[in-house]
Amino acid sequence: MKKKLKITSLQKNIRLVEALIDEVSSKQELKADIYGRILIGTVEAVNNAIIHGNKSNPEKVVNIRIYKTKKELHIIIKDEGEGFDYRNVPDPTAPENIENIHGRGFFLMTKLSDKIVFYENGSMVELIYKL
């Protein structure tokens, strides 16, 4: 199973990502708990790509690629930004950051996926979920 989606960097296109995850979930007959983790993690990653990577520039795109191996679902999100220091993102649960609105998407991505890998200076992320 392989799926691809290219969206422009507009918030309204998140619904296309949700529809893609719904389609994959249905075809792969994913359980509700894994579906929820995949949906939230993927939406957060795409949202970060739109807002932080592509600076909400509608002329830039986000590419989403999904493929399945025997035991894992891989979701790769690539933006056209310069990347970021993914090794140095503040913990949003730390007392000094608790009221900060940024960093929660990154936190959710890392907590909800079974493995997360960054490429190209952080402008591409791979979320891996065990099935």
Which two structure tokens, joined as six digits, stand for 7? Answer: 């969206």
Q: Would you state the pLDDT for residue 9?
A: 98
Phi-psi region of 89 (alpha: psi -120 to 50; beta: other; left: phi over 0): beta
Check which CATH number belongs to the domain holding 22 and give it.
3.30.565.10
Which two structure tokens, joined as six digits, stand for 44? Answer: 């957060």
Q: State yes or no: pLDDT of 127 exceeds 70.
A: yes
Q: Would you state the pLDDT for residue 2?
A: 96
What is the average per-residue pLDDT within 101-122? 89
Count of the separate structural domains present in the chain: 1
For residues 32 and 105, the model is more confident at: 32
Distance separating alpha carbons of residues 89 and 85, to the nearest angstrom: 7
Around Cβ 56, how many Cβ atoms within 10 Å? 12
Q: Which domain holds residue 75?
A: 2-130
Residue 120's contacts (CB-CB under 8 Å, 6 or more residues apart) are: 78, 83
The overall average pLDDT reported for the chain is: 93
Q: Convert the pLDDT of each residue in 1-60 to its tens digit.
A: 999 999 999 999 999 999 999 999 999 999 999 999 999 999 999 999 999 999 999 999
